Chains A and B, each alone.
Chain A
Amino acid sequence: MGMTDDQLDLVFGALADRTRRAILAQLSRADTNVAGLTELFDMSQPAVSKHLKVLEVAGLISRTRQGTMRLSHLEAEPLKDATSWLADYRTYWDESYRRLDDLLTRMD
């Protein structure tokens, strides 16, 4: 349980938006600047900046300056924290239910 309630709310809130998930997918391939994202997603620069702000507050990205360029970089750790509990839950129930399948075929 690496994250607090509030942090998880921020992460899940940030992930709830399709465009922000697409931005994260892009950043998983390469660090990208705002202009690059603006072009890739066919959105206005303020709209992209707004999404980046939400992702940054959630700790999902960091921004670094390289000369005049400000690059966004994916921070994978919070994403891992936020999804690992779900993977555990899924494993538990998938295994339980496969056993229930088997039991149901043996019941009168």
Chain B
Amino acid sequence: MNTLNQDATIEVPSGTHEIRITRDFDAPVDKVFRAHNDPELVAQWIGPKYLENVECTFEARHGGTWTLIQRDPDGNEHGFRGVVHGDPTPELSQRTFEWLGMPGHVSFETMRLEDLGDGRTRVHASSVFMSVADRDGMAESGMSVGVNEGYERLDELLATL
């Protein structure tokens, strides 16, 4: 049995505007797939815990739309939205992604789920941005709030789960 890599691997291929994330889960493909496609489930895990997911929709079909609104402890809301491209399958899910804090700067996301056997799954996620500046801007959205709090907060959070 291969060891599960439960620390996300993040790659930034040089000369591209892409970010790739690889992460293993101790759960079968169908569960990981549902956790990404059922908005009620997505709302339970997307983002750090201190960001409240106040709205989460996802139409898992070609041409469907998705939205996510996250509220930080100061009451600021961070909105995201996009369109699903092709019917999502475990082999290939594709969608566009736009942070409303930087409207018009749309990235394209793909996700592939790899069956590792023994009820385990590897997620291969990719985001292709329009430019390096867009990619960096993304990291400055709601995503940046967590960094100061660091992992101490995460440890605390995990202890309460």
Chain A positions near chain B (C-beta within 8 angstroms): 1, 3-5, 8-9, 12-13, 16, 84-105, 107
Contacts and interface: CB of A to CB of B under 8 A. Distances in A.
Given A88-B144, A89-B19, A107-B41, A96 B35 contact: no
B1 interface: no
A100 to B, nearest CB: 4
Most B C-beta atoms less than 10 A away, residue of A1, A86, A91: A91
Interface of B: 6-8, 10, 12, 14-15, 19, 21, 23, 25-27, 31-32, 34-35, 41, 44-49, 131-133, 135-140, 142-144, 146-147, 150, 154, 157-158, 161
B72 to A, nearest CB: 12
Given A95-B48, A96-B48, A5 B12 contact: no
21 contacts: A1-B137, A4-B133, A8-B133, A9-B132, A16-B14, A85-B144, A88-B140, A88-B146, A89-B19, A89-B143, A90-B10, A92-B47, A92-B48, A93-B8, A93-B23, A94-B154, A99-B49, A100-B25, A101-B25, A103-B45, A105-B27
B139 A85 contact: yes
Secondary structure class of chain A's binding surface, majority of residues: helix
A18 to B, nearest CB: 12
B87 to A, nearest CB: 22
Nearest to A94: B8
B44 A88 contact: no
